[in-house]
Amino acid sequence: MRVFNIGIIGYGGFGKFLHNAWNQMDHVQVTAISDLNASSFLHSDNVRFFTDWKQLIELPDIDVIAIVTEPSTHKMIAKACMDAGKHVLIEKPLAINIADAEEIIHCRDETGMVAVIDFIMRFNPLIHLIQTLTKQGVFGVLRRVDVENYAQDEQLPPEHWFWDPLRSGGILIEHAVHFIDIVHFISPAKLVAAHGFKHDRNPEQEDQIMANVLYEGGLFTTHYHSFARPGFFESTTIKLSYDIADIELHGWIPLWANINVLVNENTKSAILSNPLFKSKSIVPILQATDESRPKGWGISSTSLETNKDEVRSGGLIYQADEILTGTFRLPGSKQEVYADCVRSSLADVLSKIENTSHELLAPLESGLRSLEVAVLATDSARNC
Ligand SMILES: NC(=O)c1ccc[n+]([C@@H]2O[C@H](COP(=O)([O-])OP(=O)(O)OC[C@H]3O[C@@H](n4cnc5c(N)ncnc54)[C@H](O)[C@@H]3O)[C@@H](O)[C@H]2O)c1
């Protein structure tokens, strides 16, 4: 693979993180940076700096531009980059409204440039593993996802663009799209409806919001997000309830997941053979305690017949004879996993540039789909 020259527009918190992570990659060199604020630039050799991003996009040697500015600017900058013949990696959210997101997609189609959304969760090996096992049917049908995310606001003073809906779109659009996309990635299903509720700390700070979403096939999801806590007290859990498995992911960059799953010989070996898995117990279903009815409860009707190795759940019959519990855990810290994810996200763009038949993991359409859910739920919350 040849060496690719990368430009970064928007050199705040995340732009710098990308730069540091991408500096560790072969075949990649960040050679140009733009930010409105010149003092945010940390002088380094071989990197040109511009306060006007329009000068950066005119550089003939730049192959890919990462757009890491506040969300309301993504459409204008992304379109200009592609019109100038640059491939783009666009930070989430794709845009702050559907019309802008569709314009970006239209521009990609017109110009033929490679364009992706930086949905880093799709590159997290733990999310990827759960998606693969879900696709293989190891957990049965996914019925429910519940996201609880308590984020810090210490670095988000009241005047920060994050709180301005015209600049960020609000919490569901700016932030929850990551988690909405995890659902779409793990178990794609057509959207039926999305509603929302919110609470404003004061007229300028919408600091708690929730989306309730229904998909075809009976998948219910909820996304609760608050930006109100000190950083050390941040927490995120994502609970996935399938017909024959419960999974609880931990961390805003998920690093580990507890799992409780009904298995047969084949599905058991698919899980046990995974190097990330550590088993806690394997119990025959016939020996499992069933506390759904306390002792002494009368039987009101005869239960539906199933064979010894079968379990009925969600109206379906699954082959299973044991209950396996354990944990999937990624090696490495949040910092390491996060940096690996942003490297993989950029590597995906480069693979597509090198080989047009390469299938992108985070196409712009995934950004549009999660934005649609976020916009519906946000509008509903604001009209509540
Ligand atoms: N994928 C992820 O995991 C992830 C994580 C954090 C942030 N983000 C996204 O990255 C983007 C930036 O977030 P951040 O936290 O770095 O914000 P930030 O405020 O720290 O940085 C944004 C920078 O963009 C600069 N900027 C704004 N308008 C500009 C313009 N027209 N030209 C040049 N520079 C301009 C600002 O001066 C600022 O330095 C947002 O879309 C955010 O949602 C993504």
| 75 and 172 part of one domain | no
Residue with CA at minimum distance from ligand 1 atom 7: 14
Q: What is the mean pLDDT of residues 344-369?
A: 98
| 276 and 183 part of one domain | yes
Ligand 1 pocket test target in 11, 14, 171 with most atoms within 8 Å of CB: 14
Q: What is the mean pLDDT of residues 297-306?
A: 71
Question: Residue 298's pLDDT is what?
Answer: 78
pLDDT tens-digit readout, 142-184: 999 999 999 999 999 999 999 999 999 999 999 999 999 999 9
| 170 and 61 part of one domain | no
| 62 and 137 part of one domain | no
| 103 and 148 part of one domain | no
Ligand 1 binding pocket (C-beta < 6 A) is 9-15, 34-37, 40, 53, 68-71, 73, 91-92, 118, 120, 174
| 180 and 93 part of one domain | no
| 320 and 233 part of one domain | yes
Residue 240 within any structural domain of the chain? yes
| 97 and 129 part of one domain | no
| 107 and 144 part of one domain | no
Q: Is 59 left (phi over 0), alpha (psi -120 to 50) or beta?
A: beta
Last residue of a domain, one of 312, 335, 358: 335
201 CB-contact burial (10 Å; exposed 0-12 / middle 13-18 / buried 19+): middle
Hey, what are 109's tokens?
A: 């189609």
pTM of the model: 0.96
Mean pLDDT of the chain: 95
| 151 and 99 part of one domain | no
CB within 8 A of 15, min separation 6: which ones?
Answer: 8, 9, 33, 35, 66, 68
| 148 and 89 part of one domain | no
Residue 189 within any structural domain of the chain? yes
Question: Residue 24's pLDDT is what?
Answer: 95
CA distance linking residue 136 with residue 146, whole number of Å: 22
Ligand 1 pocket test target in 49, 70, 94, 119 with most atoms within 8 Å of CB: 70
CA distance linking residue 383 with residue 99, whole number of Å: 20
pLDDT at 7 over 90: yes
Residue 380 within any structural domain of the chain? no
Q: Which atom of ligand 1 is nearest to the CA of 174?
A: 43
Q: What is the CATH number of the domain that holds 314?
A: 3.30.360.10
Domains of the chain: total: 2
Ligand 1 center from residue 317 Cα (angstroms): 49
pLDDT at 303 over 70: no
Ligand 1 pocket test target in 91, 94, 155 with most atoms within 8 Å of CB: 91
- Whole-number Cα distances in Å, 338 to 251, 311, 334: 11, 38, 6
Supply the range of the domain harboring residue 53. Answer: 4-121
Q: Which atom of ligand 1 is nearest to the CA of 77?
A: 31
pLDDT tens-digit readout, 79-111: 999 999 999 999 999 999 999 999 999 999 999
Considering the chain, what percentage of its residues have pLDDT values greater than 70? 98
Question: Residue 302's pLDDT is what?
Answer: 66
Mapped onto helix, strand or coil, the DSSP state of residue 27 is coil
Residue 267 within any structural domain of the chain? yes
Question: Residue 187's pLDDT is what?
Answer: 94
Ligand 1 center from residue 12 Cα (angstroms): 6
- Whole-number Cα distances in Å, 214 to 146, 151, 191, 218: 12, 25, 6, 7
Banded pLDDT at 296 (limits 50, 70, 90):
confident
